[in-house]
Structure 1
């Protein structure tokens, strides 16, 4: 009887002993991937004391590192059909425990997925502040910070289900893509709603929902012909990340002998011909903040981990793009390899990098095939960058009623003059604000005329327009005076206890206010017109030097010509159309896409103060 019991216990240990393995990342992989050689991270108590073999997968090599709790097992999945392989872990010649590893079938069209582009309008959401669709996950026993909606810097309870519940609102508004700030687990004890200090890169934060909820969001969006963009963070992780808590080796992150060293934030040192080594290191290796350890992308283990993680999420959730946080703070050679690996896997995909700089030459350095980067023998492989110089211009020039040599609408003109620096001007993200900037309607103190001027420009110029949630209803916020929480206010109506919902029309009970409706109506009409306006998706841009603070430009392709007139002055202007003959060509009429009013292009056009006309030429 004792012998039988002993045999049963041994069998149970072999079958279930993989409880000793605490983490396996990536948790599974797919068949028929370009990225077929993968490095599987196994984590558990003293795993390095075991020898590992696989039934079903070819092991290329096994790496044991300083920390004995890690094994890095590189396997070849090429030509492996969907199946469940097995890893066995042995000691002294005997199998101690096993672990299954699944290779799943890949969607046949996965590789050819089309990323977001200039035909899209991107709607940026901060999920904790957008809508609370599931009150049961507002707090979670495994997560340190609990919901506290009264705290501007605390968690408010918005989640993935809240986004799903309001997809029809976003679709009806006319946006075609959603960029959500990060949704992966962030277990910092404070300020975790920000979610840029992530603690698990394979898990959606349970206060937002589950991995399955995220996949459901993508599926629901695809049913509406919308695209989902993940906010991905390569430069830093959170101090509570389980790997940071038990590093495989010290070089996984950038360490400083003197302890915490903050980045100098001087991104220009990445290409400054005269920069000192200490300053370069201070930017690239310094920590973004005390809770955000700086990742060492120059280490091949770290780089491989990040490449595989990004591809895993794209494949698992069916993503249509990535927005990469603090792109230009990364090890520039490492991040170029990371970007290339993803684009090699998905040739029609799109990735936009946050390059928060204030000079077009410096921003363009980071776009793929940049002429500026080539001077430095550098190619980031990054398809898209963010147009921060245009952001700087639009937040200033619409408050400048009088023209000047360098003021008023000349700021827009001069911004586009420098487009020759970019290798792909249509693949640049244009925006008036995001989760890190002051609200555009706060800057302009709820002047809807200025809001309309901003949107008229952003939605008709070259590039990919991005809107920040709530701007379309006139939401306010000033981070300089009241902190980040003020520019990340809760969307009205996103919580069950809210008395009025801006998700609903002003004509419905407890819907939008009349002021909110005015913002929304304009935004909706312009966005939905833009969906079919191919000339502003990828047409040529012809611009004229602004006179009297009036800026005129044309977007045209073989099937459509659009004439945009922006009167940024405080006076009525009458424009002689003969000056614009090159753009007007043989057209004689234009219909304003907002008012539906017709304009005779053979005579002078009268345009009211602080008003834009977007004329579809006939």
Structure 2
């Protein structure tokens, strides 16, 4: 948990509460835009001391479509139609009567070719999740900056350790060798909380990369370097809450920019986290309000997405980063905590702008019907005429099963039966191939802490990399990294060995890895690189069999190919009667196990060693 901190009096709207310069124009957001967007309307936030008491005029005869003022006189929102602007640059002039007191040169850039139809991540990809502060320190000179509060201290498990964008760029070839095709970093935008800010989820500036990670230009360079390697960049986007140190939160445009609780201290009331109240037809209205409008934590004011200005700000910001950095997709934090209508509008407007852009939402629930409710075109949500427009959700129920299954003996609802039962509910999802499957992430117990042996790791990776959906791996697990969530989040987010020049173990290179680390890495590399070209795994159908003796057998198939996966979760070798699987095997006499490289006879019976998996190409 994030420790309690003193919150600024965030609802104070008086300009006297802040120290302003004498210039009336302090900020313009977004700082620039692009011509040729599908939605030509652009709303520009103009900020400065008492700026609403001035007049705003655009140069070159450009017409302002709308001027919106709010409670706080330090803000004005102006709307223009970019299709009606013929010049690449124009001035936003701040006038006091006839006197021009300040101005800003605004630029409309040209979009990259075919930008609107960019490709995105799909089930063809393997996504790799990195905590940037904990991966690699490529530029020690930015570990501490004069404009950021928390300083680097690797001895503090919950503090800043110095990892940055440069460190990621320097190790992209490591990811490429492993077979990773898409990169998801936890948030890289500025998070200027005085402590515990390394995770990035309490953002203080939505248009600025945290200087301890690098610059906006560095982030764009990361995308370019990934694209050179045929890899994709996915931004972790936070819509539900901002950080208490946000410059906007410190001087709110209006009190209803956030959810302010009268009975709470300084507006704070913690969410009840009961996401089921969003769609439970029996739920009390107060419970639904407490879920959606309660704060995620004391340093994370809850944003009011029923305010059109808030939604529009977030839409434009996400579009800005997608266009500026060349993003290939978004992962949205705490998706199901948002205002339902507001987040649906946000999602639809972004995917209207980029029809192929994939967005995966964190819907941390433990029931497939409840998770599938949030995927685009859900038949369950359609009952109440709701559509989230969210293309992808995260398969938390599979994660829940993986956390227990490899420790258990066979039973009616235990052992591999848990996994079978999870897939038995696939019919609930409108797009089963577009869900994210994973054994762990930055918020959960480390897989290698739960199991602590390579045999179970191999079973889990075999499963994740051969079932329907988009597999996601968590940094360091491919070399056996562990971490105990019971000791705090810092322990499940340890530094990757070799990411700091003082590290004695450099796991980024084969010669620097231990024998055990190489065993984990080599297995992961083999499966990831094999999976790249297997369309039958990416989009094939699934045929699975009820587990017997803790052995789970399933097939992925299409008109051209068939792959048979066998996972023996038993502590003893098992012999399978292959006649049982004739529907999947058809009349194929033999296949090749891509894990062992051996030819496998598919006639009569097959013996598989204890705690072993096979991926057999038929």
Matches within 5 A, 1:51-70: 51-56=55-60, 57-70=62-75
Matches within 5 A, 1:18-29: 19-29=23-33
Matches within 5 A, 1:92-491: 92-259=97-264, 260-400=268-408, 402-444=409-451, 446-480=452-486, 482-491=487-496
Gaps of at least 5 residues in structure 2 are: 1-20
1:217-237 Cα distance to aligned partner (Å, 9 max, x none): 000000000000000000000
Counterpart contact for 2:204–2:244, Cα < 8 Å: yes
More deviation, 205-214/49-58: 49-58
1:431-465 Cα distance to aligned partner (Å, 9 max, x none): 00000000000000x21100000000000000000
Alignment correspondent of 1:502: 507
**CA distance in 1 between partners of 2:87 and 2:53 (Å):** 30
**CA distance in 2 between partners of 1:307 and 1:35 (Å):** 11
How much has 1:18 moved relative to structure 2?
A: 10
Alignment correspondent of 1:8: none
Counterpart contact for 2:128–2:474, Cα < 8 Å: yes
Counterpart contact for 1:18–1:98, Cα < 8 Å: no
Counterpart contact for 2:465–2:528, Cα < 8 Å: yes
Alignment correspondent of 1:581: 582
- Aligned to 1:516, what secondary structure does the other structure show? helix
How much has 1:214 moved relative to structure 2?
A: 0.1
**CA distance in 1 between partners of 2:272 and 2:67 (Å):** 38
Alignment correspondent of 1:12: none
C-alpha distance 586-81 of structure 1, shift in aligned 2 (>3 A): farther
Q: Does 1:611 align with 2:612?
A: yes
- Aligned to 2:544, what secondary structure does the other structure show? strand
Alignment correspondent of 2:573: 572
**CA distance in 2 between partners of 1:518 and 1:96 (Å):** 67
More deviation, 153-162/374-383: 374-383
Counterpart contact for 1:30–1:82, Cα < 8 Å: no
**CA distance in 2 between partners of 1:592 and 1:356 (Å):** 35
Alignment correspondent of 1:551: 552
Alignment correspondent of 1:13: none
Q: How many residues align?
A: 594
1:31-55 Cα distance to aligned partner (Å, 9 max, x none): 1001210110011111001111112
How much has 1:289 moved relative to structure 2?
A: 0.3
**CA distance in 1 between partners of 2:77 and 2:302 (Å):** 22
Counterpart contact for 1:155–1:191, Cα < 8 Å: yes
Counterpart contact for 1:28–1:104, Cα < 8 Å: yes
C-alpha distance 607-304 of structure 1, shift in aligned 2 (>3 A): same
How much has 1:603 moved relative to structure 2?
A: 2.5
C-alpha distance 88-466 of structure 1, shift in aligned 2 (>3 A): same
TM-score by length of 2: 0.95
1:193-246 Cα distance to aligned partner (Å, 9 max, x none): 011000000000000000000000000000000000000000000000000000
**CA distance in 1 between partners of 2:188 and 2:587 (Å):** 51
How much has 1:22 moved relative to structure 2?
A: 1.2
**CA distance in 2 between partners of 1:78 and 1:358 (Å):** 46
How much has 1:303 moved relative to structure 2?
A: 0.5
Alignment correspondent of 2:16: none
**CA distance in 2 between partners of 1:313 and 1:98 (Å):** 25
Alignment correspondent of 1:44: 48
Gaps of at least 5 residues in structure 1 are: 1-16
Counterpart contact for 2:24–2:50, Cα < 8 Å: no
TM-score by length of 1: 0.95
**CA distance in 2 between partners of 1:223 and 1:559 (Å):** 31
How much has 1:133 moved relative to structure 2?
A: 0.2
- Aligned to 2:273, what secondary structure does the other structure show? coil
Counterpart contact for 2:25–2:103, Cα < 8 Å: no
How much has 1:93 moved relative to structure 2?
A: 2.8
Counterpart contact for 2:232–2:327, Cα < 8 Å: yes
Counterpart contact for 2:25–2:102, Cα < 8 Å: no
Alignment correspondent of 2:14: none
Alignment correspondent of 1:4: none
How much has 1:82 moved relative to structure 2?
A: 6.2
How much has 1:610 moved relative to structure 2?
A: 0.7
Alignment correspondent of 2:95: 90
- Aligned to 1:20, what secondary structure does the other structure show? coil
Alignment correspondent of 2:9: none
How much has 1:79 moved relative to structure 2?
A: 5.3
Superposition RMSD in Å? 1.1
Counterpart contact for 1:82–1:104, Cα < 8 Å: no
**CA distance in 1 between partners of 2:84 and 2:22 (Å):** 27
Alignment correspondent of 2:11: none
